[in-house]
Structure formats: structure tokens, C-alpha cells
């Protein structure tokens, strides 16, 4: 495993981190399997884990707390997120700071997260949704600085809404936040345009999330893919999205080198972007952990394939189903 600096935090984080949403409540989660997968990742050198109160109302956070306690000899970076007070994902521009992150709500959920982790302090506290207009209202800044000075957490981050990489740039430039979490993968290349340069200039660490586009970039979805009732993927991969996602993934299979898998190509593409500090695939199986973490040793793809994959950029706009 190779490590990169996470912006101005100066932490050395594993290039491949760990996304912990699925194990918090997607159908098909098995806690024993999730715990074994987390431990396997630590054993293979992964040291950055991303969770949120919203992943099972604290369930995923408590699994991460256990992992930290079971590996006291290792530094494991814990990153979590404060949910918006209206519990609506994604954020929308009409939502105010009072709708989503009034100071009392921030404090309440930072405390709840610490209780779930059963730890004294968290490394990175992020906002689970973001609107750049909130920068004009400094109540969240005052509250976060106060909680940080009391040692509740060490660094502050924002997590940007799907397909809105521009909706965080002002905050990145403000110098208030240490990290930004954004969707970046073979399809969603648009953070390269403005967000990444702004992060580089301001030494803001970049956490690339959803490296597999929620699964389509693993090449395993078909036009008939369905999930059990209650699984959120039914509401994301609605027929129009499933069809176009499968078509876009099929086009990639034409350029996949012999001997390489789709997940490997997806991860090594992201590793080719030096601005990214860590990328966080969602994983609940040790086989996925082993396969994905090996991408770091394999390193970025060669220049010819990178150039080819740049052509598969797919710019999308938020829609009623995009969440
Ligand atoms: N608003 C936000 O802040 C926000 C929103 C979304 C996600 N996130 C963060 O980003 C992380 C990653 O996103 P995500 O989990 O939604 O999506 P993702 O990483 O794009 O895809 C996860 C899916 O890929 C599967 N997978 C993983 N490795 C695989 C492999 N080698 N071969 C085949 N399939 C594989 C997983 O299966 P298994 O689960 O069965 O292993 C899971 O179904 C989340 O876990 C979360 O930490 C944050």
C-alpha cells in the first residue's frame, strides 16, 4: 500500500481508503463479513475509513470504533459526517443553514457520533451535504472551531452533492476546511476542471468517493439488475439510469486490457490523478478488499489507457432520482 498526504492535515493516508456506507444498511450486509473485511483492510495497510451517522443511524460508526479499539497499535484515521437536520439527501440550493446545520444540531450530532464510536475524539468531521452559499453565514464556522478547540475532532471537511463539484469551491478557497469529498471516477471527471486546482492551491485534501459509480463501473450490472425491496439502489438505478449506465460500462469493456478487471481499471484510473489523496470504494467482502487494495501496488494506468479513458467522461446533471 502506498500513502499520500491528505492536504494540510499532513496525515499520511492510504491511497485506497475504505467506504463504509454499504455495511450500515444496504441489503445483503452481513456484520461478521463486514467486520472481517474491515480487519483485512487494516492488515493490508489501509488506514483511512469513511463513515457517517447516516449509515445506519450510527451502526457503521460503531463498527469503525470497534476496529480502532481492536487495532490500538496502528494509526487508523476516522472520518465521519454530520447529517443534515432535515435528513434530506441530496442538499438543495433552497435549503438554508437552519434547515440543515444550525449550531445546536451540529453539536448534538458530533456528540452522537462520539458516543457511537466510543472514542474520545474523531480525526475528520465532515458535513454530509453542502451548499456553498452557507459560507456567508458564519455560525457553522464558529461552532465547528469551538468544538475542534475542545478536542472533539481534529479536522473539518465537506462532502459535495452528487454531480455538483463546483458547489464547494468557494468554501475550499475560504481556507476554513481541510478536506473535500467528491465523486470522481472514469465517468465523473469534472472535478478536474475547477475543484481540484482550487484544492491544490489551498492545500485542501481530496477524498474521491463512489469510484465504481455505485456499482456500474465494476461491470457487473445488467439491464435486468434489481435489488431487494428497500435497497436504495432501486431508486438510483431507475430504468433510464440503469440503461445508460450499463451502456456506458459496456463501452469501457471494449478498451479493457486483457488480464485486467473492470474494478481494477476503475481504481487505477483514479490513482492516476495526483491531486487525489485517497479513494474510498464501498466494500463488504474480504475478496473485494483484497482485489481493491492491490490496485495501489499496481499503480496508475499507463498513459495510453489514461488518454483513452479520458474520452469516457460522462457529464451528468442532478435529476429527480440522482440523490
Ligand atoms: N454524500 C456522501 O458523502 C457520500 C455518498 C455516497 C458515498 N459516500 C462514501 O463513498 C463510499 C463509496 O461509495 P459507495 O459505497 O456508495 O459506491 P462505490 O464504491 O462506487 O460502489 C460500491 C459497490 O461496489 C461493490 N464492489 C466493491 N469492490 C468490488 C469489486 N472488486 N468487484 C465487484 N464489486 C465491488 C460493492 O460491493 P460490496 O459492498 O458487496 O463489497 C458495492 O456494491 C461510501 O461507502 C461512503 O463512504 C459518501
Hey, where are the domains in the chain? Answer: 3-213+264-300
Centre of ligand 1 from the C-alpha of residue 142, in Å = 33
Residue 29: which residues within 8 A CB-CB, separation 6 or more? 22, 23, 284
40 touches ligand 1 (CB under 6 Å): no
Mean pLDDT for the stretch of residues 157-184: 97
CA of 214 to the centre of ligand 1 (A): 6
Predicted confidence band of residue 264 (pLDDT cuts 50, 70, 90):
very high
Which residue's CA is the closest to the ligand 1 atom numbered 11? 19
CATH code assigned to 3-213+264-300: 3.20.20.100
Terminal-to-terminal C-alpha distance of the chain: 32
pTM: 0.98
pLDDT digits (tens, 9 = 90+) for 115-141: 999 999 999 999 999 999 999 999 999
Residue 285, ligand 1, Cβ within 6 A: yes
Q: For position 28, what pLDDT does the model report?
A: 93
Does residue 59 line the site of ligand 1, with CB under 6 A? no
For residues 218-237, average pLDDT: 95
Q: How confident is the model at residue 322 (pLDDT cuts 50, 70, 90)?
A: confident
The mean pLDDT value for 148-161 works out to 98
Alpha carbon nearest to ligand 1 atom 27, residue? 283
Mean pLDDT of 100-123: 98
Average pLDDT for residues 191-205, to the nearest whole number? Answer: 98
Shortest-distance atom of ligand 1 to CA 23: 39
The yes-or-no verdict on residue 294 having pLDDT over 90 is yes
Q: Residue 323 pLDDT more than 90?
A: no
Our mutation pick for probing the ligand 1 site, out of 24, 60, 92, 209, counting the most ligand atoms within 8 A of Cβ, is: 209
Q: Is residue 107 over pLDDT 90?
A: yes
The pLDDT of residue 90 is above 90: no
In the predicted model, is pLDDT for residue 320 greater than 90? no
User: In the chain, pLDDT over 70 holds for what percent of residues?
Assistant: 100
Rounded to the nearest angstrom, the distance between the alpha carbon of 257 and the centre of ligand 1 is 23
Residue 178 has pLDDT above 90, yes or no: yes
Taking only the tens place, the pLDDT of each residue in 301-312 is 999 999 999 999
Q: What's the rounded mean pLDDT across residues 268-287?
A: 98
Mean pLDDT over each residue of the chain, to the nearest integer: 97
- The mean per-residue pLDDT over the stretch 92-120 comes to 97
Please write down the HEC assignment for all residues of the chain: CCEEECHHHCCEEECECEECCHHHCCCCCCHHHHHHHHHHHHHCCCCEEECCCCCCCCHHHHHHHHHHHCCCCCCCEEEEEECCCCCCCCCCCCCCHHHHCCHHHHHHHHHHHHHHHCCCCEEEEEECCCCHHHHHCCHHHHHHHHHHHCCCEEEEEEECCCCCCCCCHHHHHHCCCCEEEEECCCCCCHHHCCHHHHHHHHCCEEEEECCCHHHHHHCCCCCCCCCCCCCCHHHHCCHHHHHHHHHHHHHHHCCCCCCCCHHHHHHHHHHCCCCCCEEECECCCHHHHHHHHHHHHHCCCCHHHHHHHHCCCCCCCCCCCCC
pLDDT score for 69: 98
For ligand 1, mutation pick of 13, 19, 30 (most atoms within 8 Å of CB): 19
Closest C-alpha to ligand 1, atom 10: 209
- Does the pLDDT value for residue 220 go beyond 90? yes
Of all protein residues, the one whose alpha carbon is nearest to atom 29 of ligand 1 is 288
Is residue 61 pLDDT above 90, yes or no? yes
Amino acid at each position: 500500500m502506498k500513502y499520500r498526504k491528505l492536504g494540510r492535515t499532513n496525515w499520511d493516508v492510504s491511497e485506497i481508503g475504505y467506504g463504509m456506507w454499504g455495511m450500515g444498511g444496504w441489503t445483503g450486509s452481513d456484520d461478521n463479513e463486514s467486520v472481517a473485511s474491515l480487519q483485512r483492510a487494516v492488515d493490508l495497510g489501509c488506514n483511512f475509513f469513511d463513515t457517517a451517522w447516516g449509515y445506519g443511524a450510527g451502526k457503521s460508526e460503531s463498527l469503525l470504533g470497534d476496529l480502532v479499539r481492536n487495532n490500538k497499535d496502528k494509526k487508523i484515521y476516522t472520518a465521519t459526517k454530520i447529517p443534515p437536520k432535515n435528513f434530506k439527501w441530496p442538499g438543495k440550493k433552497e435549503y438554508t443553514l437552519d434547515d440543515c446545520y444550525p449550531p445546536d444540531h451540529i453539536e448534538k450530532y458530533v456528540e452522537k457520533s462520539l458516543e457511537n464510536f466510543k472514542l474520545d475524539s474523531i480525526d475528520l468531521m465532515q458535513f454530509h451535504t453542502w451548499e456553498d452559499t452557507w459560507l456567508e453565514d458564519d455560525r457553522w464556522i464558529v461552532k465547528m472551531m469551538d468544538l475542534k478547540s475542545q478536542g472533539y475532532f481534529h479536522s473539518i471537511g465537506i462532502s459535495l452533492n452528487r454531480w455538483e463539484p463546483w458547489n464547494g469551491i468557494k468554501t475550499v478557497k475560504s481556507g476554513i476546511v481541510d478536506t473535500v469529498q467528491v465523486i470522481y471516477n472514469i465517468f465523473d471527471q469534472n472535478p478536474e476542471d475547477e475543484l481540484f486546482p482550487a484544492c491544490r492551491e489551498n492545500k485542501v485534501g481530496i477524498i474521491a468517493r463512489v469510484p465504481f459509480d455505485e456499482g456500474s463501473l465494476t461491470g457487473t450490472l445488467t439491464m435486468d439488475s434489481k435489488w431487494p425491496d428497500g435497497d436504495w439502489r432501486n431508486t438510483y438505478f431507475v430504468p433510464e439510469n440503469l440503461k445508460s449506465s450499463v451502456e456506458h460500462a459496456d463501452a469501457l469493456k471494449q478498451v479493457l486490457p486483457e488480464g485486467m478487471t473492470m474494478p481494477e481499471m476503475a481504481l487505477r484510473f483514479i490513482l492516476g490523478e495526483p491531486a487525489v489523496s485517497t479513494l474510498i470504494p464501498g466494500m463488504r467482502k474480504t475478496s473485494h478488499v483484497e482485489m481493491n487494495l492491490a490496485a495501489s501496488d499496481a499503480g496508475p494506468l499507463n498513459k495510453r489507457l489514461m488518454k483513452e479513458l479520458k474520452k469516457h467522461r460522462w457529464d451528468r446533471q442532478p435529476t429527480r432520482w440522482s440523490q
